[in-house]
A and B are shown apart, each in its own frame.
Chain A
Amino acid sequence: MSSAIPRRDLLRFSALGGVLLAGGGVAYRLVGRRDPVSPAFIARLCDMVLPATDTPGAVGAGVPAFLPIAFQHGLFGGNADTLGLLRDALDQWSAGGDFSHAGPAEQLQILSTLDRETFSRPRAQRSQTSAAADGAGAGAMDGFVLWRVVKDAIVSSYYTSQIGGERELGFQLIAGPDYRADVAVGEVRYLSNYWVENVF
């Protein structure tokens, strides 16, 4: 494994996360962080996931402001503690113990490693037909789910913002006569408003 994070710390993150997410707010206090998550920390995460290119990125789309609200309301499988728990974990891997004050290169290296590790792990399968069919086990989490939750939230928030949904991708609420069931990829613009896709 090529990593900026020692394997023992990744394993600790995994083990810790099980406690953290099962325990919610109590576990957060156990970690010992005291101050609220800073807007700058959230903005930095957003920028590393979806930066400005020829269109504004997640920061320009207002995702850092939406994310805490979304988690307060339980969206994307997160909760009010999600961002704080992720910050605490990232701090542990930063040379100076403070991810927010690490250099951009170190931040990116830490997050890239976490990202690779997270998505190399299988997640629970999901039912297409009823969330209830996923059963209790589907929600079982390890520490990497923290990043899975936050990354999904950043991506989802961006592509459902006007900048992400309409400027970065296409948005056409009424297909009408433009509708095509079967068309060459290059002949049509890819839309952000494909409401349904298969899950598994």
Chain B
Amino acid sequence: MDSQFDAIVVGSGITGGWSAKELTQRGLKVLMIERGPPIEHQVDYKNEMKAPWEMPFHGFGDANLYKREYFIQSQKTMFFNEYNQDHWANDLANPYQQAQGTRFDWFRGYQLGGKSLIWGRQCYRWSDIDFGANKADGNGVDWPIRYADLAPWYDHVENFIGVSGSEEGLEVLPDGRFLPPMELRAAEKRVKQAIESHYPDRRMIIGRSSNITRQVGDRSPCQYRLLCSRGCSFGAYFSTQSSTLPAARATGLLTVLTDTVVEAVEHDPVTGLATGVRTVGTKDKKRQRFTARLVVMNAGTINTNAILLRSQSERFPNGLANSSGVLGRYLMDHASSTAAVGLVHGVDDRSYFGNRPNNIIIPRFRNIGGDTQAFHRGYMFQGAASRRGWKRGGDQAGLGAELKQELKGPGEWTMFLGAFAECMPKADNRITLHKSAIDTQGLAQVEIAFTFGANEQAALRDAESEARKMLEGAGCTVLMSSSQPDPGGSSIHEMGGARMGHDPAQSVVNRFNQAHDVPNLLITDGACMSSSACQNPSLTYMALTARACDAAVSRMKEHKA
């Protein structure tokens, strides 16, 4: 295999796929390196069409195995299961450290396509409120870009991946290029009507999702199975496999190397440029070198930081592109909680058929417009109404034919509102390399220090209070509520560590995602984020990646770095 390329893309997940697509379509010969095994679209989705009785543990999985080997990944009980367990990293085989007194649950997908196979598919644009937040309240560094810089790239991404959603005209959540929205369920319609009549500044809308509601290219519309994380042979949601990888492969310019970890990015102190990467095979332990004129870091927030921290040299003793000393710092993840769950009354004659792979949202309404709170920034709600199913049979009194008859039909309607609060950028929330613990490749393990602060706690307290009020205002009986944040990492929206900024002394990348110190090194995954907003970040990662790749190729064509 060749060892010389125009560009190396480290990682094959949501941003890695986008980098590969954008760079190959602009004529570059690209090597994409993935640490996990290959998973090919359709042919490798081995459990996609299986019923529970075709699985060894009826779809619930081997709980003891999970305790031994998937002790972090299996905490995501809504997502992780027997059908898709191979799409999550084995925690035992891939250890990391958590700094004393802190906790960060690191959810990972170590396979071709990365977490794009198992992501939540929610797609939201950021607004100027978000890009201006750091500057407005003085926390973190100012973003050197604003919405206008990214808007055409949001268009570009949405047109390619397909995003279903409704146009709402909200400043806080700009509209995009939407496919038809999915319909709300009866109980959601009832709660929406009540919320919007009581609170003129609030909206409850269907999620904006990369589950497509019309044909997009050769990808079929969503079949309402909710089997997405098993892999979707219909290509009905965006994943590397369904979307960007076929596009990149169609150019004939892409080489994919799987089962290979990038140990470090190499750097020439004379030119000041990255020259390529050193790798180690996860199975054969084979060490290789690959060279390129451009290196794009898309290994996922924490691994991108780790690779750069490992890339030490005389010029960069504390990690590549780290002259500022901030590399690894300002790690963020949305503070999530089960804000409230309530019984919805008056719609027991209504139901649904099939599985909608989408949720409702209530966009942020705090600290915007005329609203002012004691805490900074805001939160959004995501949730859904559903009828209790047969599972209630194990949670209520009753035996025999009477119980069986009762479980023939749906149970009560419940409405869940989960909160996602913006995470403030804090220097002490940090990724470092552990001094002694090594992984199976012999590389230093990552150590993560992470805590939520007073601002996140205050936002979640307000979210609980408002969720209760909104449900009660809709006539619901509130069953439970909480402001207790889930452990850090639980939102799987980890971002930061190589933040974007104007000032090379305070940030790692510039407005086009070039490392300030190493101009042919791009960092376009979640690592580049300077703030977290409160909406799901993947669409923004994709737009930043497409924009950065376009600018990089333009520079290369002009014979600049």
Interface of A with B (CB < 8 Å)? Answer: 48-51, 53, 57, 66, 70, 72-76, 108, 111-112, 115-116, 118-120, 123, 125, 127-133, 148, 151-157, 159-162, 165-166, 168-169, 171-176, 178-185, 188-200
Contact = CB atoms under 8 A, between A and B. Distances in A.
Contacts of A127: 337-338, 482, 486
Given A175-B355, A181-B185, A132 B75 contact: yes
A191 B225 contact: no
Given A132-B105, A161-B58, A176 B224 contact: yes
Given A49-B403, A115-B398, A178 B354 contact: yes
A200 B342 CA distance: 9
A128 B467 CA distance: 14
Contact of B490 (A66, A130, A191): A130
Contact of B225 (A116, A130, A174): A174
B271 interface: no
Interface residues of B, number: 80
A132 B385 CA distance: 23
A175 B225 contact: yes
Interface string B158-197: 0000000000000000000000001111100100000000
Interface of B: 49, 51-53, 57-65, 67, 74-78, 105, 182-186, 189, 223-227, 336-338, 341, 348-356, 384-391, 393-401, 403-405, 407-410, 414-416, 418, 479-480, 482, 484-487, 490
Given A131-B75, A180-B353, A119 B397 contact: yes
B351 A196 contact: no
Given A131-B74, A179-B353, A196-B355, A73 B64 contact: yes
A180 B186 CA distance: 11
B490 A129 contact: yes
Nearest to A77: B63
A74 B350 contact: no
Contact of A198 (B77, B394, B396, B415): B415
A195 B410 contact: no
Contacts of B480: 125, 200
Contacts, number: 235
A168 B394 CA distance: 16
Given A152-B395, A180-B354, 16 more contacts: A53-B401, A73-B62, A76-B60, A76-B63, A127-B486, A128-B416, A133-B337, A156-B391, A162-B51, A181-B352, A185-B350, A189-B353, A190-B410, A197-B391, A198-B414, A199-B341
Given A188-B353, A198-B384, A200-B414, A173 B227 contact: yes
Nearest to B220: A176
Contacts of A166: 51
Contacts of B389: 192, 194, 197
A135 to B, nearest CB: 8
20 contacts: A53-B404, A57-B404, A123-B395, A127-B338, A127-B486, A130-B490, A148-B395, A151-B394, A156-B58, A160-B60, A165-B52, A176-B223, A180-B353, A181-B183, A188-B351, A188-B352, A188-B353, A190-B408, A197-B387, A198-B385
Contacts of A182: 183-186, 189, 350, 352
Contacts of B226: 195-196
Q: What are the 3 tightest A-B residue pairs by CB atom distance, in nearest-first order? A: A175-B354, A152-B394, A74-B63
B354 A172 contact: yes
Contact of B386 (A76, A148, A193, A196): A196
A73 B58 CA distance: 12
A120 B397 contact: yes
A131 B386 contact: no
A194 B409 contact: no
B223 A51 contact: no
A75 B60 contact: yes
A157 B390 CA distance: 11
Contacts of A184: 349-351
B53 A165 contact: yes
B390 A73 contact: no
Contacts of B53: 160-162, 165
A108 B192 CA distance: 46
Contacts of A169: 390, 407-408
A127 B480 CA distance: 10
B81 to A, nearest CB: 8
Contacts of A108: 399
A75 B226 CA distance: 23
Nearest to A74: B63
A130 B388 CA distance: 19
Given A75-B63, A181-B356, A112 B391 contact: no
